[in-house]
Amino acid sequence: MNTTKKPKKVLVIDDDEGILEAVRAVLDYEGYQVITNSTGRNFIDKLKSDPPNIILLDLLISGKDGRTVAQEIKQDAVFQKIPIVMLSAHPTANEAAIASGVDDFLPKPFDINDLVATIEKHTNPPK
Amino acid sequence: MAVNNLVPRVMNTNQLIRTPSTQFQNQDYFDAIIESSNDAIIGKTLDGIITSWNPGAERLYGYSPQEVLGQSIFTIFPDDKKDEFLQIMSKLRRGQRIEHYETNRRHKDGHLVDVSVTISPIRDSFGRIIGASSIARNITLQKVNQTADHFLSRASIILSSSLNFHKTLSAVAKLAVPHLADWCGIDILSSNNQVEQLAVAHIDPKKVLWAKKLRQTHPVDMSQDTGLAHVLKTGKSELYPHISQKMIRDSARSQAELTIIQEIGLESVIIVPLIARRHILGAITFVSSNPYNHYTDNHLKLARELASRAAIAIDNAKLYQKSRQELKTRLTIEKQLQNSRDQLEIIFQNIADGITVQDKTGQVIYANDVGAKACGFNNAQELLNLSQIDLSNYLQKYDIRDDTNRPVSQDQLPGRQALDGHPNPQATLQYINKQTGDSFWSLVKARPILDNNGQVTLAVNIISDITQHQEFERQLAASKQRLELAHEVANIGTFEWNLQTDEVFRSPEQERLLGYKPGTFHSSHQAWTKTIHPDDIDSVNNAITDSIENHTEYSSEFRVIHPDKSIHWIAGKGRTFYDEHDQPLRMIGVNIDITGSKNEHETKSRLAAIIQSTDDAIISQTLDGIITSWNPGAERLYGYIPSEVIGKTISVIVPKEYLNELTEIHEVVKLDQSIDRFETFRHKKNGQVIDVSISFSPIKNGQDQVIGLASIARDITEIKELERRKDDFISIASHELKTPVTTMKMFTQLIKKQFTNNPMPNTTRFLDKMDDQLLRLTKLISDLLDISKISAGKLELHKEKFNLDALIKDTIESLQDTSPKHQIILRGQTGKTIFGDQDRINQVLVNLITNAIKYSPRANKVIINLSTNHTTVKISVRDYGIGIAKEHQPKIFDRFFRVSGANERTFPGLGIGLYLSAQIIRRHGGNIEVNSIKSKGSTFTIRLPFK
């Protein structure tokens, strides 16, 4: 899995510290470089010089709707090409995800193997 | 014939005569032949002197050789044939022969003999012609036959030329003259046995007239036993070869007749009858007045032949005339019949009664329109077009009954009875259409029509449509009954109160109204007032007094107390009669029991009070949605007062998006069905939308027809709000629960992953257990979430076509992996594609199968059966577990229901799996049911429609 020298950078946006920790632990173990954000704000400017390969985005972030975050990402010239995977436990998350134009969706709770597979799917463009 | 053959040889002898010396012996031989020949062989000189005369000549002409030898040949020549001799002689002189020359000669007794003559010259030894020899043969018979043949063939042509036998027979008679007769008469027997002279012929027309005159003056005397009378009577022919003067004298009835007969000169007579088909039609008389011509049997034969042909001709003509006459008569009769039939037809078609005529088979061969209509047809033609079988089938459509409502079979119909020989059957019949129930009444009288042999050939039905009459009778009976019933029900009593004596005459009904048997109540007014309820006495007395004083009608309503203490409402009305001084004499009036209507009124009042006081909004509306009543509850709920909404459409309180729903409700109620606790939304006057639960019921008129609907609505906004909050809570709770579960799951899996490479005793197993429990927890949370979705009406199905068998197989395989103890057996297949939410159906299957495993801890198998019928697939899941008690079975698909009780073994769970399953299956248009026996096991069956 970790065949490249430089690990893939994953940005995880979620307001739940437990989730952020768990995702970081799993993805560290799997060999990814993990950056976390718990507010959905200020990450674009910060990461512009070294953008992530993929963004994992929670639908419900305190103070900010995940869909708004997704739209902001898609409006940025640099970030708009980065695939977004929406994560949510909300009953209508699937529909919301589709409506906000994200690339994929994983319902909580998910299997870590599914998480890794989804990341790999979107970070390895078809040859 | 032998002689004929010899003649040429005889001729040869003439040539041999030149050398008699050499042929001497032959000469004797020839002489012998000449002597014995039947032919007349005569030799003569060129001057015509007879030189030889053989016996044949003697027989033919009557002269002996001595009488004619040396005489002139003219002796035997008729006067008119003398030139013939010169011609013959001139030919002979030229050496020519004359062969088979037919002519006639005169017999010694004067009559003519037909002969065929061959004449050859006689030469001397120098070859000079010195004389002639003639060989003559009597051909009279042949001639007669020839003449007869000729005559008969001509007669036949004449007879067949026309059927006017007067004309043909006259022609035949003329034909017979003069060759066969000098006179020929034809007489016919007329129908009254009179002899009618049909034809008479003579060569001289004057004589014909004269003969006719004779017949007029001297008609045939049929009493005579000879002559024409005899032939006409016996049919036997008569031949008088020779009529003597004596015979004439004997037969003549007068001197005048004798003179005439003598004038006619009867020499020989034949009378032959004309007989056809053994009937003597008449006779033909042939008369020869030539003393040399006498009739023979040959003539008789000919006459008979002619007569037989003529008779046939007459017979044919008569038959023809008769048949023509018959034909003419028949045509006349038929025309008359047709005329009378036409007249009858006109009468039949215009009379009020229906007429039908049936033949022996029952088929209707005549009907007038009224008759056809009385049988249920539009016109006569429709009925006449039906065969007997058609008619029978047609009648099958009706339930036919008589006036006592007994069924009548087709064989019992009057027409049929008449055909079976009943003299005058009749019946009052009701035809009830089995399909429509419509009916009509007919009074049917039938008469048989007999033929000459007394056999029934036809039946005539006279049918009266008595539907109206019958209906009138029925209504009369009904109204009579109604009147009786009305009296009985209304209990109308009458009274006559003598105001001066205070005596009251009361009708039996009046006594009954007061609770007494007729004849047992006291006749005073005082007694009556005692029966009145104490509370009403004053008002009744006032009403009576007022009406008497004011000369107005008395009217009051009051209660009476019966001896059995029961209370009855009475309405009293009366009128007072006065004397000339305005003194009241008597009051006449009626009392009516109005207890029923009073009670009804009370009931209505009570209902009205309830409607007025209830908190529920009670609204009535027409089927068009026009509001007709609006109670205070409706006023409070919706904010409109009655005057604002009555007469308006109900849509003032229905949100736009729910108007369609309203239409559907109206459709259901129109069908006389009620709708209970229908949850929907309504507008208040202030625009607020409220949750309501409404029950709708039909409003019917007296004829049981739905004319509107009543609705009772209750505000359930608060209840609904509470439900919504609860569902929101579940939704948020499940979401909140899922977040820590997600974290736990990730960590657990991560630890497991790390330990896989570096195992520690039991750690992996424990982590698996944790993962399982997390899975269960996730599922419980999902189920809770689904319930909140269903409650909110937000359970969305993502329908697509999928292969049901494949789904079931996958589900079973994945469950089998985690449930090694039970064998999940799949039987059958559906082979169908389902249009539905694959994940949801899978959810149901997982639920049922895991339940089956869960609730059969001691069993080792679960059986899944698949089957289909023409519209649905059937999936049943059978276990051999603890089963479900009968009383719990109806509730197991309810939300949050769990089997519980002191004796029940409990299993963990929220009691929502079956509720969810049932909801999902229902949302797919299917159903789910359970069949279970406590301690034996359960079978859950799902039916899903396929397309």
Over residues B637-653, the pLDDT tens digits come to 999 998 899 889 998 89
**Which residue(s) pair with B311 in the sheet?**
none
The whole-angstrom separation of Cα B39 and Cα B604 is 149
Spell out which residues of chain B touch residue A90, defining contact as CB-CB under 8 Å. Answer: 735
| pLDDT for the residue B792 | 65
CB B685, CB B638: distance < 8 Å:
yes
Query: Which of A27, A108, A114 to mutate to probe the B interface, most B CBs <10 Å?
Result: A108
B387 in reach of chain A (CB within 8 A)? no
| pLDDT for the residue B1 | 38
The whole-angstrom separation of Cα B41 and Cα B55 is 8
Q: List phi, psi (to 5°) of B618.
A: -110, 120
Q: In this predicted model, what pLDDT tens digit does every residue of B406-419 receive, in sequence order?
A: 888 888 888 888 88
| pLDDT for the residue A126 | 62
B628 in reach of chain A (CB within 8 A)? no
Please name the member of B734, B740, B788 whose beta carbon is closest to the beta carbon of A18: B740
B754 in reach of chain A (CB within 8 A)? yes
Please name the member of A29, A91, A109 whose beta carbon is closest to the beta carbon of B742: A109
| pLDDT for the residue B806 | 92
Spell out which residues of chain B touch residue A18, defining contact as CB-CB under 8 Å. Answer: 739-740, 743
Q: In this predicted model, what pLDDT tens digit does every residue of B884-910 receive, in sequence order?
A: 888 888 888 877 666 665 455 555 565
Mean pLDDT for B228-248 is 85
pLDDT band at B660 (very low <50, low <70, confident <90, very high): confident
The whole-angstrom separation of Cα B815 and Cα B847 is 11
B739 in reach of chain A (CB within 8 A)? yes
Residue contact A89–B788, C-beta within 8 A: no
Which residue of chain B comes nearest to A15, CA vs CA? B739
Residue contact B749–A113, C-beta within 8 A: yes
CB B751, CB B767: distance < 8 Å:
yes
Which residue of chain A comes nearest to B796, CA vs CA? A92
Average pLDDT along chain B: 81
Among candidates B781, B771, B778, which has minimal Cα distance to B750? B771
Spell out which residues of chain B touch residue A110, defining contact as CB-CB under 8 Å. Answer: 742, 745
Tell me, what's the ipTM? Answer: 0.85
| Total number of residues shown for chain A | 127
Q: In this predicted model, what pLDDT tens digit does every residue of B434-474 receive, in sequence order?
A: 888 788 888 888 888 888 788 888 888 888 777 777 776 66
pLDDT band at B99 (very low <50, low <70, confident <90, very high): confident
Between B18-32, B63-77, B744-758, B790-804, the lowest mean confidence (pLDDT) is in B18-32
Q: List phi, psi (to 5°) of B340.
A: -70, -30
Q: Which two tokens stand for residue B378?
A: 């539009």
| pLDDT for the residue B10 | 38
The whole-angstrom separation of Cα B910 and Cα B861 is 25
Burial class (CB within 10 angstroms; exposed 0-12, middle 13-18, buried 19+) of B759? exposed
Q: pTM score > 0.90 for this model?
A: no
Spell out which residues of chain B touch residue A111, defining contact as CB-CB under 8 Å. Answer: 745, 749
On the question of pLDDT at B25 being above 60, the answer is: no
Residue contact A89–B735, C-beta within 8 A: yes
pLDDT band at B508 (very low <50, low <70, confident <90, very high): confident
On the question of pLDDT at A10 being above 90, the answer is: yes
A98 in reach of chain B (CB within 8 A)? no
Spell out which residues of chain B touch residue A108, defining contact as CB-CB under 8 Å. Answer: 738-739, 741-742
Q: Which residue has the higher pLDDT, B303 or A120?
A: A120
**Which residue(s) pair with B458 in the sheet?**
B359, B449
| pLDDT for the residue B23 | 45
CB B133, CB B162: distance < 8 Å:
no
The whole-angstrom separation of Cα B251 and Cα B228 is 11
The whole-angstrom separation of Cα B172 and Cα B155 is 6
Q: In this predicted model, what pLDDT tens digit does every residue of B161-210 receive, in sequence order?
A: 666 777 777 887 887 887 778 888 888 887 777 888 888 888 777 778 87
The whole-angstrom separation of Cα B319 and Cα B313 is 10
Spell out which residues of chain A touch residue B749, defining contact as CB-CB under 8 Å. Answer: 26, 111-113
The whole-angstrom separation of Cα B143 and Cα B306 is 17
Residue contact B753–A112, C-beta within 8 A: yes
Between A35-44, B677-686, B777-786, B917-926, the lowest mean confidence (pLDDT) is in B777-786
The whole-angstrom separation of Cα B100 and Cα B122 is 18
Query: Which of A19, A87, A112 to mutate to probe the B interface, most B CBs <10 Å?
Result: A112
A90 in reach of chain B (CB within 8 A)? yes
Q: In this predicted model, what pLDDT tens digit does every residue of A65-104 receive, in sequence order?
A: 788 888 888 888 888 889 999 888 776 667 667 777 788 8
Q: Which residue has the higher pLDDT, B78 or B759?
A: B78
Nearest CA-CA distance, residue B843 and chain A, Å: 16
Query: Using CB atoms and an 8 Å cut-off, which of residues 791-830 of chain B contact chain A?
Result: 794
The whole-angstrom separation of Cα B318 and Cα B168 is 13
pLDDT band at B22 (very low <50, low <70, confident <90, very high): very low
On the question of pLDDT at B8 being above 50, the answer is: no
The whole-angstrom separation of Cα B512 and Cα B521 is 9
| pLDDT for the residue B24 | 47
Residue contact A109–B746, C-beta within 8 A: yes
* Of the ranges B404-413, B525-534, B856-865, the best mean pLDDT one: B856-865
On the question of pLDDT at A9 being above 90, the answer is: yes
Q: In this predicted model, what pLDDT tens digit does every residue of B322-378 receive, in sequence order?
A: 777 777 777 777 777 777 767 666 666 666 677 888 888 888 888 888 778 777 788
Among candidates B353, B356, B348, B372, which has minimal Cα distance to B464? B353
Q: Which residue has the higher pLDDT, B73 or B725?
A: B73
| pLDDT for the residue B555 | 87
Q: Tell me: cis bond preceding B273? Omega within 30 of 0 counts.
A: no
All residues at 6 or more sequence positions from A45 whose CB lies less than 8 Å from its CB, including other chains: none
